[in-house]
């Protein structure tokens, strides 16, 4: 029994742009978010309230939040690493704060220079600030499907962290495949372990296509009943603090797959592809999206537009 409807969250404007060497102007970021909204995306990870020194691409988070359109139904989320980021996000009137922790000590050290316990203590501070401002909190666990420093991550280790987030009141959670180490059996097993331990936790899956199995992992997630996925326009992205973390699952490729399976998303694929084509110009290099290049399955071509075999 596959979900009849899936929520697609766009993370390209945060996860996609954060590791780009070329700074994308604020006005262009705003225009991109608005294009995604008009395409029907209803949850967007707009930016990140991190240190501008650590991630210069996100230095204009407040300006981007102030400039975007906010139609009814849109959830404008932003990543917050600590209490200071949470206060800045609250001032910017975000709809949702995304607070994160890694599934392994090694990656957590590399990512935020903290232990897991320290990060969870900081998460509690973020949650308190969010509650004071009536802002939703969404948890995220990086390297949930495998760590580039420690290898396989035991399901019980992830479930234990989920339990600690649950105790803090978190009921919305993203499992991040930060370096593309997930496989369909791992995705299926981890989803089941969390569903068994915390059936009231709504899980979102965030896969990377680093090793070419991103959409295969989505299929495994759908078969496990997961109805929420994060992806990046054009397939941009990758954690700047994890070796080999290239390529999120591409949003338009994900939407194409879901539509071909008869699963509703509320997203206009043609408008999404148009937005993806703008991304290449903004970042100044080709992006890995496939549907933006090939078009939908039933696209038709005039006979005189192709070369013909002769002789």
- Render pLDDT for 23-40 as a digit per residue (tens, 0 to 9): 999 999 999 999 999 999
Query: Given this model, what pLDDT does residue 54 score?
Result: 86
Angle at alpha carbon of residue 249, lines to 244 and 255, rounded to 5°? 175
Query: Given this model, what pLDDT does residue 242 score?
Result: 53
Q: Which two tokens stand for residue 255?
A: 């939407």
Q: Determine the Cα–Cα distance for residues 71 and 37; give it in Å rounded to an integer.
A: 8
What is the reported pTM? Answer: 0.94
List, in order, residues 6 or more apart from 109 with CB less than 8 Å away. Answer: 115
Contact 229, 206 (CB under 8 A): yes
Domains and CATH numbers, the chain: 7-305 (3.20.20.70)
Among 78, 147, 191, 239, the active-site one is: 239
Active-site annotation holds for 239: yes
DSSP string for residues in the chain: ---SB-EEEE-IIIIITTT-SSPPPHHHHHHHHHHHHHTT--EEEEEE-S-TTT-GGGTTHHHHHHHS---TT-EEEEE--SHHHHHHHHHTT-SEEEEEEESSHHHHHHHHSS-HHHHHHHHHHHHHHHHHTT-EEEEEEETTT-BTTTBS--HHHHHHHHHHHHHTT--EEEEE-TTS---HHHHHHHHHHHHHH-TTPEEEEE-B-TTS-HHHHHHHHHHTT--EEEEBGGG----TTSTT---BPBHHHHHHHHHHTT-B----HHHHHHHHHHHHHHHTS----SHHHH--TT----GGGS-----
Point out the residues of the chain with pLDDT beneath 50. none
Query: Given this model, what pLDDT does residue 243 score?
Result: 56
Query: Given this model, what pLDDT does residue 107 score?
Result: 95
CA separation, residue 3 to residues 17, 201, 230 (Å): 30, 16, 16
CB crowding 261-289: b at 16 or more within 10 Å, else e: eebebebebebbbebbbebeebbeeebbb
> CA dihedral in degrees (19, 8, 61, 128; nearest 10)?
-110
CA separation, residue 158 to residues 116, 174, 243 (Å): 12, 12, 21
Task: Write out pLDDT tens, residues 79-88.
Answer: 999 999 999 9
């Amino acid at each position: 029994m596959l979900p009849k409807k899936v929520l697609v969250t766009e993370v390209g404007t945060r996860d996609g742009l954060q590791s780009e060497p070329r700074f994308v102007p604020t006005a262009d970021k705003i225009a991109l978010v608005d294009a995604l909204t008009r395409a029907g995306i209803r949850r967007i990870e707009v930016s990140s309230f991190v240190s501008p020194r650590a991630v210069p691409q996100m230095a204009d988070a407040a300006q981007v939040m102030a400039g975007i359109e906010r139609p009814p139904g849109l959830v404008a989320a932003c990543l917050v690493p600590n209490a200071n980021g949470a206060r800045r996000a609250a001032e910017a009137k975000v709809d949702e704060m995304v607070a994160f922790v890694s599934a392994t000590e090694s990656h957590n050290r590399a990512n935020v220079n903290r232990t897991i316990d320290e990060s969870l203590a900081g998460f509690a501070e973020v949650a308190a600030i969010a509650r004071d401002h009536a802002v939703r909190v969404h948890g995220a666990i990086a390297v949930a499907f495998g760590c580039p420093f420690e290898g396989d991550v035991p399901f019980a280790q992830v479930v234990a962290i989920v339990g600690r987030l649950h105790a803090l009141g978190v009921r919305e959670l993203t499992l991040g495949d930060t370096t593309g180490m997930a496989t369909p059996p791992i995705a299926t097993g981890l989803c089941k372990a969390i569903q068994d331990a915390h059936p009231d936790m709504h899980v979102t899956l965030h896969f990377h296509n680093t090793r070419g199995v991103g959409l295969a992992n989505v299929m495994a997630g759908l078969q496990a009943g997961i109805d929420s996925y994060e992806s990046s326009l054009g397939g941009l992205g990758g954690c700047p603090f994890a070796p080999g973390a290239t390529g999120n699952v591409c949003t338009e490729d994900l939407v194409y797959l879901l539509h071909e399976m008869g699963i509703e998303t509320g997203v206009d694929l043609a408008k999404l592809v148009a937005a993806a084509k703008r991304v290449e110009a903004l970042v100044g290099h080709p992006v890995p999206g496939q549907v933006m290049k090939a078009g939908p399955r039933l696209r038709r071509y005039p006979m005189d537009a192709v070369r013909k075999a002769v002789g």
